[in-house]
Copies of this chain bind each other. A is one copy, B any other.
Amino acid sequence: MVVVSRNWLYVKEFKGEPKEENFELVDEELPTLQDGEFLAEAEYLSVDPYMRPYMGRYPVGSLMIGGQIAKILQSKNKAFPEGVRIFGQFGWRTHTIFNPNKTQGEKPYVLPDFGSLPASLGLGILGMPGNTAYFGFLEICDPKEGETVVVSGAAGAVGSVVGQIAKLKGCQVIGIAGSDDKCEWLKKLGFEHAINYKTQNILEELKKAAPKGIDCYFDNVGGTITETVIRLMNLNGRISVCGTISNYNSVPVQVADPQRDFVFKQLKMQGFIVSRWGHRWLEGINANLNWIRQGKLQYEETVTEGFENMPKAFMDMLKGGNTGKAIVKV
């Protein structure tokens, strides 16, 4: 029996916002399984902001990159037996033959037991975005009780978790997001303030919401929002630079003088890629899982149905169409 995978290829370089023409759906006949390999079938696939800048490193014709939750259909590898659910960085494809011992990239892993929670969370709050929030916020911002924390991209997969973890640590939390609905959701999550950057004056709203200034900033967006936040940071403030989604589709931008604030406020800014904490991966997942079970951490998913709709899900997410984690259900 020949297995056919449907694959989304990157067939034209991104310029500005991604469009349908950048992608092409093709079929691939998979070969017979060899020793050490398994065959996995995608159940959920992830669309994430990082894919936009990262694809620039790959030649046209490459498979679109990305993670997926998949079920092992056949296996010649004892660590990945038939029937288990895994997370794998396999790209935008429905079926994958893979030998984990031969990859130089990220190794797939069997999903931890989520109990009654959906497996799709392995792409979000119990996966890379959740760990990005957990490590990227706690390790770099090192938040203290009573401090004021600002999160940009606050209603996204990462930002919504950062804000909730900040609340768990006893901080005052201000979220910046792109719609009134998102802002309402942030308040339900316990954020003290939520600012709609599309309709409100960010500087004025931040001044009101953070009368004592800002101690920690978790930055998902970059650009002018970031310039504005930096102006209100306190002495010895910390900035964790997770992403710069506002600039993924365009450069340059007009900015103020962030370096001057860096000197006078003795700020620390650090960029990170979550894989630096790869050796502590399950620690992050289990911490978030326990908080969810204790009712202390909430999540939302924006689900697009159908593998054929992956480009649409990706483009919508880049425009801010999602609340919480954007995923595709095959």
A276 in the interface (beta carbon within 8 A): yes
> Smallest Cβ distance from A257 to chain B, in angstroms?
5
Q: Which residues of B contact A168 (CB under 8 A)?
A: none
Q: Quick check: is A289 within 8 A (CB to CB) of the other chain?
A: no
Q: Is the CB of B251 within 8 A of A256?
A: yes
Determine if A287 is an interface residue (Cβ-Cβ < 8 Å). no
* B-contacting 9-mer, from A23-31, A79-87, A265-273, A301-309: A265-273
Do B269 and A269 have beta carbons less than 8 Å apart? Answer: yes
What chain B residues lie within 8 Å of A164 (beta carbons)?
none
Contact in complex: B263, A244 (CB < 8 Å): yes
- Chain A residues 35 to 71 lying within 8 A of chain B, measured CB to CB, are 53
Nearest-Cβ distance from residue A136 to partner chain B, whole angstroms? 10
A29 shortest CB reach to chain B, Å: 36
B257 pairs with A222, CB closer than 8 A: yes
Give the distance to chain B from A313, nearest Cβ to Cβ, in Å: 23
Give which listed residue, B252, B260, B268, contacts A254 with CB less than 8 A.
B252
- A147 adjacent to chain B (CB < 8 Å): no
In the complex formed, the residue of B with least CB distance to A261 is B271
Q: Could you tell me which residues of chain A, from 125 to 153, have a CB within 8 Å of some CB in chain B? A: none
Complex Cα distance, B262 from A262, in Å, reads 15
When the two chains form their complex, are residues B241 and A262 in contact, meaning their CB atoms are under 8 A apart?
Answer: yes
A253 interface residue per 8 A CB criterion:
yes
Instruction: Say whether A263 contacts B259, CB under 8 Å.
Output: no
Tell me which of B242, B252, B265, B270 contacts A255 (CB under 8 A). Answer: B252
A206-228 Cβ-contact flags toward B at 8 Å (1 or 0) = 00000000000001001100100
Complexed CA–CA distance, A244 and B222 (Å): 21
Whether, in the assembled complex, A175 has its beta carbon less than 8 Å from a beta carbon of chain B, the answer is no
Residue of chain B at shortest CB distance from A54: B264
13 of the cross-chain contacts (CB-CB < 8 Å) are: A53-B264, A226-B259, A241-B263, A242-B263, A244-B257, A252-B257, A253-B255, A254-B254, A261-B271, A264-B271, A266-B271, A267-B269, A268-B270
Ranked nearest first, the 9 interchain pairs of A and B with the lowest CB-CB distance are A262-B271, A222-B259, A263-B271, A244-B259, A241-B262, A268-B270, A269-B269, A251-B257, A247-B257
